[in-house]
Structure 1
Amino acid sequence: MLSALIWIPILGAVLIGVGREPLIPARARLIALLATVSAFVWTIWLGSQFDAGQTAMQFIEHLVWIEPLGLTYDLGMDGLSLPLVALNGLLTAIAIASGSPSVNRPRLYFILLLLLNASVTAAFLAQNLLLFFLFYEIELIPLYLLIAIWGGANRGYAATKFLIYTAISGILILAAFLGLTLLTGVSGFGYNPLLTQVLPLGQQFLLLGALLIGFGIKIPLVPFHTWLPDAHVEASTPISVLLAGVLLKLGTYGLLRFGLGLFPEAWAVLAPWLATWAAVSVLYGAFMAIAQTDMKKMVAYSSIGHMGYVLLAAAAATPLSLLASVCQMVSHGLIAAMLFLLVGVVYQKTGTRDLTVLRGLLNPERGLPLIGSLMIIGVMASSGIPGMVGFISEFLVFRGSFPIFPTQTLLCMVGTGLTAVYFLLLVNRVFFGRLSEGAQNLPPVYWSDRAPALVLTALIVALGLQPNWLIHYSETTTTALVNGRLAIAQAATLTKAPLKAETVE
């Protein structure tokens, strides 16, 4: 069942690859869209069969792959992976639908998009540490090429910078995984056998530190964030949608699944520092967003700040805060994708993203009134206005984290206020006032430009009014993650107690 989510996009890539030359771009786009929509529909069907009250992995698949290396093809789905797999499928379909119908080198372009979708889905489903690492690294290749070939003027610099940072991230993660298996003596890289192992605290600090930096680069957290604004500015709109909406979630997912799950004692000791790190990232991202004059770079720095909320919730590690972290990942994915889509339409129609040049685009006759209205909805959602998914996710983060880290939570709440400030600057400068002379006689906006953003708007409002549709699938898993963490910590304490007594004696 789960393999279909990986192999349907790969099959679509094969069909595009073996087509006749020259391949019509519209036909390649149609095949890619059918493949991603099919995988997304299959995810929805799996969700309908998913038992939300079960804590164990569901739809498990196991196949011995390379036994001497301990590499097995183990897949599983729980309440942590299901929402992210669905998000990946939805945003990939939107990225394909929102792309240019006459993209250069369509065969390679759509093959890379499908391979990116398959590798990210596989990483979310992998239940073998080495298997996760393989797919975590495989997604680097198509994303690098998508930026380097179809990016902006400085695409080579941005793509290379992204490649170097992500390669360092992968090295640290692999080192942590190898160290974990060597120190525990467990044969293989299976996730479940490693859950029962408790290492000395010093070894946990070393391995968890490598994972924190590795996944911190991917999220990204300050000061490992510098690759993200460059990548977003140079990437095309569909790639920015996937980068902000899905790819960053591999970092937060990895921290929850492997950092918190495998090193509970060290996580508890480092939690105050992690919460402080989250507050620094939130405030830094907000202040940097205020200083930007490029719309796309402003949204990119906004992503850095909003991903800090996930780290804050993970650091608190209460049942409510971990549930909030999943909600925030999905919420940010939808909202960031919508904002990047709308910025892309503005740039396509006006030829600029400069806040000092654009103004008055809300003009009902000669501007972009519907795009401006959707942008206002998007910034309201990102600012946490009630009735939208951004509000409920941030409220749960603050409610779950405040009893544990009140100071850091208050600082993050300040970051939410600053979100309203910089997005108000964006909306006020770009969409209100007298229409600028350079924006006269704009090209028409077609429904193909509007439809993807309208779909995301409907989901943002629907999940804001009925968040239980999202919470329902993840609550049991996040609660079990907290309970398992406490059980492992208690077992470690009981194991060490006789040793202490013997030493004193």
Structure 2
Amino acid sequence: MLSALIWVPVLGAAIIAFLPGNIAAKLTRQVSLAISLAAFIWSLVIAVQFSPENNARQFIEFLPWIDSLGLTYSLGVDGLSLPLLVLNGLLTCIAIYSTDEKITRPRFYYSLVLLLSAGVSGAFLAQDLLLFFLFYEIELVPLYFLIAIWGGARRGYAAIKFLLYTTVSGILLLAAFLGVVWFSGSTSFAYEPLLTHDLPLGTQLLLLGAILVAFGIKIPLVPLHTWLPDAHVEASTPISVLLAGVLLKLGTYGLLRFGLGLFPEAWQSLAPSLAIWAVVSVLYGAFTAIAQTDMKKMVAYSSIAHMGYILLASAAATPLSLLGCLYQMISHGLISALLFLVVGVVYKKAGTRDINLLCGLLNPERGLPIVGSLMILGVMASAGIPGMLGFISEFLIFRGSFESFPIETLLSMIGTGLTSVYFLLLVNRVFFGRLSEKVLDLPQVQWSERIPAAILAGIIILFGIVPSWLGRWTEASTTAMISPQPAIAKVIPSVSFSKSKLP
């Protein structure tokens, strides 16, 4: 069941890229959207059959691969990875749907988007450290080309910078994974057997440090963040949606799965430092966002601030804070995607993202009133207004972290107030007031351009009103992460490609 989430997009990408003859751009888009929609629906089928009360990996698939390296094709899903899989499927559909129908080199473009989605799904499903690393690196290649070819004026610089940073991240991650297998004396990279390793605290701290820096680049956390604003500004709107909505979550997911999961003792020792690091990221991202005049760059820096909340909750490592981590990952994925979509529509119609040049876009006759309303809704959700998903995620994080780190939590709460400040500046300058003469007679926004943002807005409100619909899928798994005994994988149903027993 799980392999379909990886190999259906891969097969679709291969067909689109290598099928002989000319294929119309419109048909290519439709086929790509159908493939991504099939993968998304299949992730929902898996979610329906998933057992929320079970904290172990489910739907296990196992295939011996390279015995000499200890590498296995081992997949599984639990409450931590399942919501992220569904999010990946949803945002991939939205990214393809939001792509300009007249995009150049459509076959190459849509193939890369499908490969990117497959790599992300593989990373969330991998139950083998080396297999996770392979998928973690595979998604780097399509994203590089998507920025370098279809990006803005400085796309080459942004793509190279992204490539260099993430290459360093991959090197550190591979070194850490090799280290944990080597020092533990394991014969394979299978995840669950490594949970019972008995390494000295010094060795754990060394390996955990490499993992923290590796995923700190991916999240990103200050001062490892400088690649992100450039990548967002130069990337096209659909790619920014995937970058902020899904790809950054590989870092936060890896932090929980392979940082806290493999080294709980060392994690506890570093927790106070991690909480301080979180505060620095939150406040730096928020204050820097206030200083921006480019709408897209402001949203990019807000992502850095909101990712810091996840580090704070991870450092506290309480059942409530870890549940808040998952809520924040989903919340940020949906809200940031909504904001980037709206910014993309504004840029497409007004020809600029400069806050100083835009004004009065809520004008009901000659402005963008519906787009402006969606932006205001996204801003309210990001600022943690009750009744929206952003509120419940931040509430869980702050409530779960306060007992462990009261000062750091209070300082991080200042970041929430600053979120209201910089987004209020954006909304007030861009959407209120008299319509600027520089953007008169804006082109009409079609309903097809509003639908993706409207869908995301509806989901944000729905989960904000009924947050238990999301929490029930993940609470058992996040609580089990800090239990002394790791869960034993349960096969529901078992899919094995050999007669070997599951490791």
TM-score scaled by structure 2?
0.96
1:421-460 aligned within 5 A: 421-460=421-460
Structure 1 CA distance, aligned partners of 2:477 and 2:283? Answer: 30
Structure 1 CA distance, aligned partners of 2:418 and 2:56? Answer: 40
Contact 1:335 / 1:381 at 8 angstroms: preserved in 2? Answer: yes
1:480 aligned residue: 480
Q: What letter is aligned with 2:481?
A: L
Residues 186-240 of structure 1 show CA distances to partners (whole Å, capped at 9, x for unaligned) of 0010001100112100000000000000000000000000000000000000000
Structure 1 CA distance, aligned partners of 2:448 and 2:55? Answer: 41
1:110-259 aligned within 5 A: 110-259=110-259
Structure 1 CA distance, aligned partners of 2:387 and 2:132? Answer: 36
1:491 aligned residue: none
Contact 1:264 / 1:486 at 8 angstroms: preserved in 2? Answer: no
1:91 partnered with 2:91? yes
1:500 aligned residue: none
- Identify the structure with the greater helix proportion: 1
Identity %: 68
Structure 2 CA distance, aligned partners of 1:252 and 1:11? Answer: 28
Structure 2 CA distance, aligned partners of 1:485 and 1:279? Answer: 31
TM-aligned CA deviation for residue 444 of structure 1: 1.0
SS in 2 for 1:76: strand
Structure 1 CA distance, aligned partners of 2:22 and 2:445? Answer: 29
TM-aligned CA deviation for residue 484 of structure 1: 3.2
Q: What letter is aligned with 2:322?
A: L
Structure 1 CA distance, aligned partners of 2:350 and 2:189? Answer: 52
Contact 2:480 / 2:486 at 8 angstroms: preserved in 1? Answer: no
1:367 partnered with 2:351? no
Q: What letter is aligned with 2:67?
A: E
1:9 partnered with 2:9? yes
Q: What letter is aligned with 2:436?
A: S
Question: Larger RCO: Structure 1 or Structure 2 (Cα < 8 Å, ≥ 6 residues apart)?
Answer: 2
1:316 partnered with 2:311? no
Q: What letter is aligned with 1:448?
A: S
Structure 2 CA distance, aligned partners of 1:366 and 1:438? Answer: 12
Contact 1:169 / 1:218 at 8 angstroms: preserved in 2? Answer: yes
Which consecutive unaligned segments of at least 5 residues does structure 1 have?
A: 488-505
Structure 1 CA distance, aligned partners of 2:343 and 2:109? Answer: 22
Structure 2 CA distance, aligned partners of 1:114 and 1:445? Answer: 27
Residues 297-325 of structure 1 show CA distances to partners (whole Å, capped at 9, x for unaligned) of 00000000000111111100001110110
Q: What letter is aligned with 1:198?
A: D
Structure 1 CA distance, aligned partners of 2:403 and 2:25? Answer: 54
Structure 2 CA distance, aligned partners of 1:299 and 1:350? Answer: 18
Residues 55-92 of structure 1 show CA distances to partners (whole Å, capped at 9, x for unaligned) of 21100000001110111000000000000000000000
Q: What letter is aligned with 2:260?
A: L
1:388 partnered with 2:388? yes
Q: What letter is aligned with 2:54?
A: Q
Structure 1 CA distance, aligned partners of 2:146 and 2:399? Answer: 39
Contact 2:241 / 2:336 at 8 angstroms: preserved in 1? Answer: yes
Structure 2 CA distance, aligned partners of 1:395 and 1:23? Answer: 50
Contact 1:260 / 1:485 at 8 angstroms: preserved in 2? Answer: no
Structure 2 CA distance, aligned partners of 1:451 and 1:20? Answer: 34
SS in 1 for 2:112: helix
SS in 2 for 1:296: helix
1:75 aligned residue: 75
Structure 1 CA distance, aligned partners of 2:381 and 2:230? Answer: 25
Structure 1 CA distance, aligned partners of 2:175 and 2:485? Answer: 23
1:236-385 aligned within 5 A: 236-385=236-385
SS in 1 for 2:76: strand
TM-aligned CA deviation for residue 485 of structure 1: 7.3
Q: What letter is aligned with 1:295?
A: M
Contact 1:64 / 1:73 at 8 angstroms: preserved in 2? Answer: yes
Moved over 6 A (4+): none
TM-aligned CA deviation for residue 445 of structure 1: 0.3
Structure 1 CA distance, aligned partners of 2:198 and 2:352? Answer: 55
Residues 424-463 of structure 1 show CA distances to partners (whole Å, capped at 9, x for unaligned) of 0000000000100111111110111100000000000000
TM-aligned CA deviation for residue 14 of structure 1: 2.1
1:502 aligned residue: none
Contact 2:306 / 2:332 at 8 angstroms: preserved in 1? Answer: yes
Structure 2 CA distance, aligned partners of 1:341 and 1:315? Answer: 32
Structure 1 CA distance, aligned partners of 2:323 and 2:386? Answer: 19
Structure 1 CA distance, aligned partners of 2:131 and 2:194? Answer: 14
1:490 aligned residue: none
TM-aligned CA deviation for residue 19 of structure 1: 3.3
Contact 1:288 / 1:301 at 8 angstroms: preserved in 2? Answer: yes
Structure 2 CA distance, aligned partners of 1:361 and 1:477? Answer: 45
1:48 aligned residue: 48
Contact 1:282 / 1:412 at 8 angstroms: preserved in 2? Answer: yes
Structure 2 CA distance, aligned partners of 1:198 and 1:238? Answer: 45
Contact 2:195 / 2:486 at 8 angstroms: preserved in 1? Answer: no
Q: What letter is aligned with 2:392?
A: I
Structure 2 CA distance, aligned partners of 1:484 and 1:376? Answer: 44
TM-aligned CA deviation for residue 383 of structure 1: 0.1
Q: What letter is aligned with 1:154?
A: R
1:501 aligned residue: none
SS in 1 for 2:101: coil
Contact 2:43 / 2:85 at 8 angstroms: preserved in 1? Answer: yes
Structure 1 CA distance, aligned partners of 2:56 and 2:353? Answer: 47
